[in-house]
Amino acid sequence: MYVHIGQLVSFAYWHYSICVFELQDTCMLFFYPKIRREVEKVTQSEVEIALERYRNEIESLKHRMDEVQRIVDAVHSLAQQMIAQTAEIKHLGQADTAINQAVKQMGRR
C-alpha cells in the first residue's frame, strides 16, 4: 500500500494535535487525537434543572459529612477514654504490686 506524504500530513493535520518538544539538539513530535464535539444548545430550564440536581446532591453530601464528623468525634472520645483507662490500669497494677509486697513483709514478721 502506497500513501502519499501529502495525504499523511493532511490526515494528521485534521485528526491530530501536534505538540513539539525540543530537548537539547533533538526535536520530538507528539501526536494526540483532536477532540471534536458538537456544542449542544441548552435551554435555561435545562440549566436550572441541572443546577437543582447539583444543589440536592451537595446538600446530601453535606448531610453525610455531618454524620461522618459525628462518628469521628465519637472515635476521638473513645480513644481519649481508652488512654485514661490504660493509665488507670497501670496505676492499679502498681498498687497491686505494692500491696503484695506489703503482705509478704507482714508474713515474714
C-alpha cell at 50: 441541572
Residue 16 parent element (H or E)? strand 16-23
Per the CB < 8 A criterion, the answer to whether 16 and 33 are in contact is: yes
Length of the chain, in residues:
109
- Torsion, Cα 34 39 40 45, to 10 degrees, reads 120
Question: What is the model's pLDDT at position 27?
Answer: 66
Please give the chain's pLDDT, 109 residues, in tens.
555 666 666 666 666 776 666 666 776 666 667 666 665 778 888 889 989 999 999 999 999 999 999 999 999 999 999 999 999 998 888 888 888 888 888 888 7
Question: What is the model's pLDDT at position 42?
Answer: 80
Question: What is the model's pLDDT at position 9?
Answer: 61
Residue 86 parent element (H or E)? helix 44-108
Return the SS3 of 26: strand
Question: What is the model's pLDDT at position 101?
Answer: 86
Question: What is the model's pLDDT at position 18?
Answer: 67
What value does the CA radius of gyration of the chain take, rounded to a whole number of Å? 37
Residue 46 parent element (H or E)? helix 44-108
As to burial, measured by CB atoms within 10 angstroms (0-12 exposed, 13-18 middle, 19+ buried), residue 69 is exposed
Whole-prediction pTM value?
0.45
